[in-house]
Structure 1
Amino acid sequence: MTATTTPPARSRLRQAVDFGALAAFMAAYAVNRFIRGLDGQEALVQATWVLVAASAIALIVGYVTEKRIAPLPALTGGFALVFGVLTLVFHDPTLLKIKITLQNTVLAATLLGSLPFRKYPFKYLLGDAFQLTEAGWRGLTLRYGLFFAAVAVVNEIVWRSQSDDTWVAFRGGLWIASAVFGVWQVFFLMMHMIKDETPDPVSPDTGL
C-alpha cells in the first residue's frame, strides 16, 4: 500500500467520520435528556450544537483527505450546517427534523429526475472508481432514488407521530439501514461491472 490514501480508504474514513458525528449527536441528546433531565425538545436543541460542530469537522476531514469537497458530502454537510444553525437561532428542533425530509427529497428528485435524460449523477460521482454498463448506472440511480424517497416519507411519519426519543433512535437506525442498503448494492454493481473489479460498498448519505 502506498502512502497515498486509496479511494476505498477515503470512503471508509468518511463513513467513520459520519458515524462518529451521528454517535456524538445521539450521545449528546442522551446526556441532556436522561442525565440533565431536559425535555425532548430542549435536549434536541442542545445536542444540535454537537451536530453543527461535527458537520463542520466532517467537511474539513473530507477536504483534507480528498483535497476537494465532494458533491454529495458537501450537500449533506451543508444541509446539516444550515438547518443546525437555524435550529439554534430559532430554538426549534422541528427544523432539524425536517432537514432529513428535505435533504432526501432533493436527492430523490435529482436522481429520479435524471432517468429520462440518461444523465446519471452517480456516473459523474463514481465513474472514476469503477465502470458500469448503462443498465448498471440506470439501476443504481433508480434504486437510490427510491431509497431516498422512502427515507423522506418515513422520516415525516416518524417525527410527526412519535416522541423525540423515538425520532433520535430512528436516526441511529437510519444510519444502519443506509449501511446495509449500501452493502446490498455491491451485488448489483458486480452484476453490471465492465471491468473485473470488486466495488467498495456505496453507502447512501442520508444526512446526520
Structure 2
Amino acid sequence: MHSFESDTTPNRQEKEHPGLKLALELGPLLVFFFANLRGEWLVSKFPVLATLGGPLLVATGLFMAATVISLIVSKIVFKHLPVMPFVSGIVVVIFGGLSIWLQDETFIKMKPTIVNTLFGVTLLIGLMFGKSLLGYVFNAAFQLTPEGWQKLTLRWGLFFLFLAVLNEVVWRNFSDATWVNFKVWGTMPITIAFTLAQMPLIMKHSIEQDTSGKP
C-alpha cells in the first residue's frame, strides 16, 4: 500500500535481486563519472548532447536521466521507492535542470550540499521536538532504546551536515575532475566508515526483539 519504505529493510523482491538493487543505487553515479570523464567523446558520437553544454553539464544531463530511470525501475521491480534516493533524485532533477538551463555548473555542484543539509537539519529539528526520526527509517532493521535512537539520530544529523560542508569545501576549492572523483569515490567510503563506527552504540542500546509471538 505504501510507496515509500525503509531504505534498510529489504523486501522479497530486493532479496531476490540484490545485484539489481546495488546497480540501481550506484548506476547513476557511475554514469555521471563516466560521462564527465569522456564528455568530449560522447559529444562526438552523439552530437545532440552538445546542446547541454560542456562535459560536466553533459554528465549532469545523463545523471538526471539515469536517476529517473533508476527510480522508475525501483518502483516497478521492488514495488516501492526508497526514501533517501527519491529525495536525492528530486534535487538532482531540479538542480541539474537549473544547471543546464542557466548553463551554470554551480547548481549541480551544490546538490549534495542541499540534500545532506536537508537530511541533517530534519533529523536535528526532530530531536528538538523530541522525535528521533531516524527510527522511522531503521526501526524495522533493528530496535534501540529511546536513548540509543536519540544518540544515533544526533550523530547522523551532524554527519549529514559534515558531508554538506565537505562538499562545499571540495567544489569551491578544487577542479571539476577532483569534485566528481570525490562525489563518486570519496563520499561512499566515508559514509561506510561512519556507519561501521556506529556499531558499538547500536550494540550497546539494542533491545532484544520478542520472537515468541506474544502481543
Please tell me the TM-score bracket, short chain as reference: 0.7 to 0.9
Amino acid at match of 1:186: M
Provide closer, same or farther for how the CA distance between residues 6 and 103 of structure 1 changes in structure 2, counting only shifts above 3 A.
closer
Q: Could you tell me which residue of structure 1 aligns to residue 154 of structure 2? A: 142
Distance 1:134 1:142 in 2: 12
Q: Could you tell me which residue of structure 1 aligns to residue 35 of structure 2? A: 28
Q: Could you tell me which residue of structure 2 aligns to residue 175 of structure 1? A: 188
Cα deviation code 1:32-76 (max 9, x no counterpart): 2689799xx821101012210111122123323442223322211
Distance 1:13 1:140 in 2: 29
Provide closer, same or farther for how the CA distance between residues 152 and 34 of structure 1 changes in structure 2, counting only shifts above 3 A.
farther
Provide closer, same or farther for how the CA distance between residues 159 and 48 of structure 1 changes in structure 2, counting only shifts above 3 A.
same
TM-superposed CA distance for 1:105, in Å, is 1.0
2:143–2:206 CA contact under 8 A, matched in 1: yes
Provide closer, same or farther for how the CA distance between residues 128 and 11 of structure 1 changes in structure 2, counting only shifts above 3 A.
farther
Secondary structure (helix, strand or coil) at the match of 1:132 reads: coil
Distance 1:12 1:182 in 2: 21
2:143–2:209 CA contact under 8 A, matched in 1: no
Q: Could you tell me which residue of structure 2 aligns to residue 128 of structure 1? A: 140
1:24–1:50 CA contact under 8 A, matched in 2: yes
Cα deviation code 1:111-160 (max 9, x no counterpart): 11111222122111222232111122112111111111011111111111
Amino acid at match of 2:12: T
Distance 1:10 1:130 in 2: 22
Secondary structure (helix, strand or coil) at the match of 2:13 reads: coil
Amino acid at match of 1:190: M
Residue correspondence of structure 1 range 1-208 to structure 2 within 5 A = 4-5=12-13, 13-32=20-39, 42-172=54-184, 173-195=186-208
> Percent of counterpart pairs with the same letter?
36
* Rg larger in structure: 2
Select between 143-152 and 61-70 the one with higher mean Cα deviation: 61-70
Distance 1:11 1:84 in 2: 29
Q: Could you tell me which residue of structure 2 aligns to residue 203 of structure 1? A: none
Distance 2:19 2:208 in 1: 22
Provide closer, same or farther for how the CA distance between residues 11 and 181 of structure 1 changes in structure 2, counting only shifts above 3 A.
farther
Q: Unpaired runs of 5+ in structure 2? A: 1-10, 45-49, 211-215
Distance 2:147 2:183 in 1: 32
Alignment TM-score, normalising by the size of structure 1:
0.80
Aligned residues, how many? 192
1:14–1:58 CA contact under 8 A, matched in 2: no
Q: Unpaired runs of 5+ in structure 1? A: 198-208
Distance 1:140 1:178 in 2: 14
Cα deviation code 1:154-202 (max 9, x no counterpart): 11111111111111111121122123323333343232221269xxxxx
Distance 1:99 1:119 in 2: 26
Distance 2:204 2:21 in 1: 26
